[in-house]
Structure 1
Amino acid sequence: MIEVGALRALRAVAALGTLARAAEELGFTASAVSQQIKRLERQVGVPVLAPAGRGVVLTPAGQAIADAAPEVFQALERCAEAAQSVAEGAPRGTLRVVAFSTAIRGLLAPVMPRLASRCPRLRVQLTEQDPAEALHSVGAGTADLALVHDADGLLPAPVPPALTQRWLHTDVGDVVVARTHPLAGLDAPLDEAALAGHAWVTSPPGTVCHQWFRRLFVQEQPDVRHLVDDFATQLSLVASGQVVALIPRLARPPLGESLVARELRRPPEREVQAVWRRSAEASPAIRAVLAELGAPATSRTVSP
């Protein structure tokens, strides 16, 4: 009979391309993963991996096993969830949650004290991951729940199969300025004409917030003075009165007396989604976290 650990090791190697990267994700040594793969080959009687440059690829037999693995993992997970629900239905154990940094700051951190009070036997383990990596972790079984965003209108690809997705929150960007700045005195939502001619600090190119920033300007070439990835540092520069910044609300700490936020006429938005394996639908722990996050009852399945 094929061992579950060996099956999970094969799936990780298939996804990541090397024994070393698979070992890092699974929390084992490369030697331990290699032994699991060799054990699997003895169990099925055929090679499942073949060398390819510095990495490895699956043989046809290995690919067939990897393709069938999700059904095995889902069946096992349903067994465990059924046992938990029958026993008492109370959230307990460790729930592995992966999320992008501003979701941890703005959504998860505020509910953690209340969750700990209501579910004392539940341990929530948070890991910061970008959306694409978070989806992979949930699909591979190394995380239980992910918070991702669709800043460009789509979930990051590739989307693992057999996942459930639920809307949690719409994050919006505002312009933050010093209270002494000329924009601070404007009450109406700001448009491109109002923003023209001002100096900016913004996130570096390649980030979601830099994409948001570029979309503010159609006619004007913005005056970007500073490129800073950390929002707290951006706000410290804004407090000097010399630059302004576009800050997502989830990433924004209390502004204090020296800073004010001004809404945009056409603000950038991103939808924050919770994603988990469909086979874990009955998990009391996932349900408890979603309830604290205020997730609506409706959900839909994400297809490949």
Structure 2
Amino acid sequence: MVDVGALRALRSVAALGTLARAAEELGFTASAISQQIKRLEREVGVPVLAPAGRGVVLTPAGRAIVESAPEVFQALERCAEAARSASRGAPRGTLVVAAFSTAIRGLLAPTVGHLSTRCPDLRVDIVEQDPDHALRSVATGAADLALVHDADGLPAVLPGSLTQRHVHTDAGDVVMRREHPLAQREEALTGNDLAGHAWVTSPPGTVCHQWFRRLVADVSGEPDVRHLIDDFSTQLSLVAVSGVIALIPRLARPPLHDGLVARPLRRPPKREVHAAWRRSADASPALRAVLTELDRVPGLTAGGA
């Protein structure tokens, strides 16, 4: 019989291209992954990997095994969840959630806090990963649930074994000192309102920098960007001491101290956040408990200190 651990290792190697990267994702050493693959080859009687430069590639036999693997894992997961549901409806055990950093701050942190009281037998472990990595972790079984966002308006590509649902719409606001001229505006700000003001913004290559460039696209002249900072708490520190303004996603925004205010935009940049999980885990009481608690997270508003 094919060892399930070896099958999982082969699938991870196929996705990542090297034994070392698969080992890192699964939490093993490269030597342990190699031993699992060799055990699998002994069980099936044919090689499943072949060297290719510094990495490896699947043999035809290995490709056939990997293509059949989702059905195996889904069947095993359905068996486990059926047993859990039949024996007890209460969520328990450990659920691993992979999510991007601001979703952890704005959505998962309050969810875990409430679950600790409502579901004392359920442990939620969180790992920070970008959307593509998070989806791969769920597909390979390294995580049970992923929180992902669309990239510049384009949804993440969902593997066929996963399903998803919308959980939140995140938007960006402009944060400034309370005495800043824009802070006195009662109506939502436009791109033209922002002309001539100094900025701290996220570095190029980030979603928030793309948001910023679209926001100022119609403003004449090049925006006055003084600082390029990836950490939003550091951005807010610079806003507080130097008078620059910042475009901050609501999920990423900590409570603002008395000297700062957030002002909404007439056309705020937005991103949609989805939860994704394996279809075979639909009946999981633990998964359902986390999804239900995510629905209870209060909506985040634009204004306020």
What TM-score, normalized by structure 1, do the two folds share?
0.95
Find the counterpart in structure 2 of residue 302 from structure 1: none
Following superposition, the deviation at residue 103 of structure 1 comes to 0.5
d(CA) in 2 for partners of 1:257 and 1:26?
Answer: 45
SS in 1 for 2:241: coil
d(CA) in 1 for partners of 2:278 and 2:291?
Answer: 14
Following superposition, the deviation at residue 218 of structure 1 comes to 2.1
Q: Which amino acid aligns with 1:168?
A: V
Determine whether 1:284 maps to 2:279. Answer: no
Segment of structure 1 superposing worse, 35-44 or 279-288: 35-44
Find the counterpart in structure 1 of residue 212 from structure 2: 213
d(CA) in 2 for partners of 1:73 and 1:53?
Answer: 30
CA-to-aligned-CA distance 1:85-118 (integer Å, 9 cap, x gap): 0001111110000111110100111122220111
Kept after mapping to 2: 8 A contact 1:167/1:295: no
Find the counterpart in structure 2 of residue 226 from structure 1: 227
Task: Provide structure 1 residue ranges, at least 5 long, that are not aligned to the other structure.
Answer: 297-304
d(CA) in 2 for partners of 1:264 and 1:225?
Answer: 21
d(CA) in 2 for partners of 1:23 and 1:174?
Answer: 40
Determine whether 1:252 maps to 2:272. Answer: no
TM superposition outliers: structure 1 runs of 4+ over 3 Å: none
Q: How does 1:46-125 map to 2 (within 5 A)?
A: 46-125=46-125
Find the counterpart in structure 1 of residue 27 from structure 2: 27
Q: Which amino acid aligns with 2:55?
A: G
Q: Which amino acid aligns with 1:200?
A: W
Kept after mapping to 2: 8 A contact 1:17/1:57: yes
d(CA) in 2 for partners of 1:86 and 1:21?
Answer: 38
CA-to-aligned-CA distance 1:223-265 (integer Å, 9 cap, x gap): 1000000101100111125200000001111112100111101
Aligned-pair RMSD on alpha carbons? 1.2
Find the counterpart in structure 1 of residue 301 from structure 2: none
Kept after mapping to 1: 8 A contact 2:149/2:155: yes
d(CA) in 2 for partners of 1:92 and 1:107?
Answer: 21
d(CA) in 2 for partners of 1:266 and 1:204?
Answer: 22
d(CA) in 2 for partners of 1:24 and 1:255?
Answer: 38
Q: Which amino acid aligns with 1:219?
A: D
Find the counterpart in structure 2 of residue 265 from structure 1: 266
SS in 2 for 1:247: strand
d(CA) in 1 for partners of 2:50 and 2:120?
Answer: 47
Find the counterpart in structure 1 of residue 239 from structure 2: 238
CA-to-aligned-CA distance 1:12-64 (integer Å, 9 cap, x gap): 11011111111111111111111111111111111110000011000011000
d(CA) in 1 for partners of 2:198 and 2:13?
Answer: 48
d(CA) in 1 for partners of 2:218 and 2:19?
Answer: 50
Q: Which amino acid aligns with 1:70?
A: P
Kept after mapping to 2: 8 A contact 1:95/1:125: yes
d(CA) in 2 for partners of 1:65 and 1:87?
Answer: 33
Q: How does 1:107-256 map to 2 (within 5 A)?
A: 107-157=107-157, 159-220=158-219, 221-256=222-257
d(CA) in 1 for partners of 2:85 and 2:100?
Answer: 30
d(CA) in 2 for partners of 1:111 and 1:132?
Answer: 23
Find the counterpart in structure 2 of residue 301 from structure 1: none
Kept after mapping to 2: 8 A contact 1:171/1:250: yes
SS in 1 for 2:12: helix
Q: Which amino acid aligns with 1:180?
A: E
Kept after mapping to 2: 8 A contact 1:168/1:295: no
Kept after mapping to 2: 8 A contact 1:181/1:241: no
SS in 2 for 1:74: helix
Segment of structure 1 superposing worse, 170-179 or 26-35: 26-35
Kept after mapping to 1: 8 A contact 2:152/2:210: no
Following superposition, the deviation at residue 154 of structure 1 comes to 2.5
d(CA) in 1 for partners of 2:296 and 2:52?
Answer: 44
d(CA) in 2 for partners of 1:20 and 1:219?
Answer: 47
Segment of structure 1 superposing worse, 28-37 or 193-202: 28-37
Q: Which amino acid aligns with 2:118?
A: R
Kept after mapping to 2: 8 A contact 1:190/1:265: yes
